[in-house]
Structure 1
Amino acid sequence: MLFGRRAGKIKRLLIVEDEPLVAFDNEHFLIDIGYTVVVTTDDAAKAMAAIAVGGIDLILSDVALARGSSGVEVARAAMAADIPLLFVTAACPIDAPSLAIGCLAKPYTQRALKQAIEAVETRLHGGTPKRIPPGLTLY
C-alpha cells in the first residue's frame, strides 16, 4: 500500500479498568479500529496473570482497581516483563514516570485514546509523535 498507514507493532492490548462502561467502550472501540484485546480485567491479580502468559504489546491501566488493587502493581509487573504500560486514569501516581511510558488523563475521547496509542508506538520506536492528544503526558 503506497500511501497507507504502516502496520504498527502494537497490536495486542491488555485493558485494566474497574469502571465497567469505560472498559466495555474501550474494548469494543479498540477492536473496531484493528487492535486485539487479549484480556480486559478489573483487578491487578488477573492483569498480572495475563502478563505472565505474555503476548501483550501494550497495557492500558487505570490506577484505582477493583478489590483494592492498584495499577501500580500492574505497572511493576509490566516493567519486569518488559511490556510498556500507559496509565489511563484521573490522577497519575507520583512515580508514574519510572513505571510507565505515559499517562492519559480521564476523561478522554476515543480519538484521544487512539492518538495516545499511536504516540506511544512512535515513542517506543525512537520517534517524536506528531500529535499529542489533550491529556496525554509521555515520559
Structure 2
Amino acid sequence: MIFGRKKRSIVRLLVVEDEPLVAFDTEYLLTGEDYEIVATVDRVADAVAVIADGQDIHLVLADLALGDGSGIDVARAAQERGIPVMFVTGNCPGEAEAFAAGCLSKPYAPRDLLAAIVAIEAAREGRRLRRLPNGFRLFAAMSTPVEPAQIAG
C-alpha cells in the first residue's frame, strides 16, 4: 500500500484500569486512533466477565494493581481464550512474561502506548521490528528480531 494504512489485526481492545483519569485518557486516545474499546473496567471480576462473555477482543490492556486483585488474574482468563495481554503498570513483575505479550511502564507517553500495540501486532504477524517504544518490553514468546541499534530504552 503506497497511500493507505495497512489493515490492523488488533482493533478491539479491553481496557482494565482502576485509575479513572488514566482509563479515560487511554480510552480517548485509542478511540481517536480508530481502535474500538470493547469495555473499560476497573475490577478483575468485571474484566473476567467481559472476557468470558465471548466478545471478539484482540488485545487486553491491563494494569496489575487493581482494587479487587491482580491483573495477572485477568491475563490468565485472557490466555485461556487465546487473547494477548499487555500489562500497563508502574512495576512489571518477572512472572508477567508467562502471561502477557509485553509490558509498558507507567507513566508513558501516548505515542509509546500506540507504538507498543503496533509492536505486539507486528510480533504476532512475524514482522521485523525497527525499534521498541520507550518503557516497553516485548516478551520472548512474542518477539521477533529487533534491529539491535534501534532498541529504545
Tell me which interval the TM-score lies in, with the shorter structure as reference length. over 0.9
Query: Counterpart in 2 of 1:89?
Result: 89
SS across alignment from 1:114: helix
TM-fit CA distance, 1:92: 0.9
Deviations 1:75-129 (A, max 9, x none): 1001101000000000112211110000000000110000000001001111222
After TM superposition, which residue ranges in structure 1, 4 or more long, deviate above 3 angstroms?
none
Normalising by structure 2, report the TM-score: 0.87
Structural RMSD (CA): 1.0
Residue segments in structure 1 that go unaligned for 5+ positions in a row: none
Percent identical across equivalent pairs?
Answer: 49
1:133 aligned counterpart, secondary structure: coil
* Number of equivalent positions: 138
Aligned AA for 2:138? L
Letter in 2 for 1:15: V
CA deviations 1:5-35 (Å, max 9, x no partner) are 2011101000000111000000011000000
Return the structure number with greater relative CO, CA threshold 8 A, min gap 6. Answer: 1
Q: Distance in 1 between matches of 2:136 and 2:127?
A: 16
Whole-angstrom CA distance in 1 between matches of 2:98 and 2:136: 16
Q: Structure 1: how far apart are the matches of 2:129 and 2:61?
A: 18
Cα deviation 1:47-87 (Å, max 9, x = unaligned):
011111221000000000123x1101001001101000000
Distance 1:49 1:40 in 2: 12
Contact 1:115 1:131 in 2 (8 A): no
The 5-angstrom pairing of residues 44-83 of structure 1 reads 44-53=44-53, 54-67=55-68, 69-83=69-83
| Deviation, structure 1 residue 3 | 2.9
Where does structure 2 lack aligned partners over 5 or more consecutive residues? Answer: 140-153
Bigger Cα Rg: 2
Q: Which amino acid aligns with 1:133?
A: P
Q: Secondary structure at the match of 2:117?
A: helix
Could you tell me whether the CA contact under 8 Å between 1:18 and 1:66 is conserved in 2? yes
Match of 2:116 in 1: 116
Q: CA deviation at 1:46?
A: 0.4
